[in-house]
Amino acid sequence: MGRADFGSAKYQSKQLKASGLQKLKYYCQLCQKQCRDANGFKNHLLSPSHLGRISNLSADGHGNSVVEEYSSTFEKEFLRLLKINHGTKKINANKFYQEYILNDKNHVHMNATKWLSLTSFIKYLGRLGKVRVEVPDEDDEFNLVIRLVDSSTELKARNKEKIRRTDEEMALKFINNQVAKGQELAAKSEVEKGAMSEQVVEKPKNTESSDQKPTKVLVVLKGLSSKRKKLSAFADNSESEED
């Protein structure tokens, strides 16, 4: 008879038997008791010790808080081991769950949490963005592939993208302001040019200004000029002019 392939369901079953682990659905987390089969688990649930623990929790009002505590511990340990063993690499969800079970015999069992199945738990982590969930091509939701989301890496990527967008917005805003200023200056220059053209009046051609003084012209006729005596206020001015 051949040996089971590493990672197969048969291999995992043998590993569980070798480590002394039985079927997880027959384990009582509250009493920390492992039952061998369904009949033994049923008898345990009806036992006085188990019923006494349940009644005490119900009387104290801690029933829901215990389930929440188990759920929180299960989620934290699941993600911690996923980060240690595989980082951000892809891994089959069922295969890794077997690793989680074999890692610690005293781990918190899923039947003590608020999740009814591994599929519902994986989908819960996917909705919170703690893991990336991928469905294979055959669309089998019971054969999911998961990959841990590193919160620090995601945060750095988001901050880097935010800074890049901020720089682009600032550059675009600066360019728009420069364009607006250029348009404003151009419009102002056009208005000033229009005002100056209205104030300028063209001078008429071949005309003289009205305030120009007339030029005196002296005309002397030859042979017609006569000598006149100078008049004096003290001399006898009765003589006529010489011919």
pLDDT in tens, 232-242: 555 555 554 44
Q: What is the pLDDT of residues 12-68, one digit of tens each?
A: 666 666 555 567 788 888 888 888 888 998 999 999 999 998 888 888 777 778 889
Q: What's the pLDDT at 223?
A: 53
Which residue would you say has higher pLDDT here, 99 or 155? 99
> 51 CB contacts (<8 Å, ≥6 apart)?
none
Name the E strands within 150-190: none
CB count in 10 Å sphere of residue 41: 19
Which residue would you say has higher pLDDT here, 19 or 120? 120
Q: Which has the closest alpha carbon to 81: 93, 70, 69?
A: 93
3-state secondary structure of 218: coil
pLDDT class of 221 with cuts at 50, 70, 90: low
Q: What is the pLDDT of residues 144-201, one digit of tens each?
A: 899 999 877 666 666 777 788 887 888 888 888 888 888 888 888 877 777 666 665 4
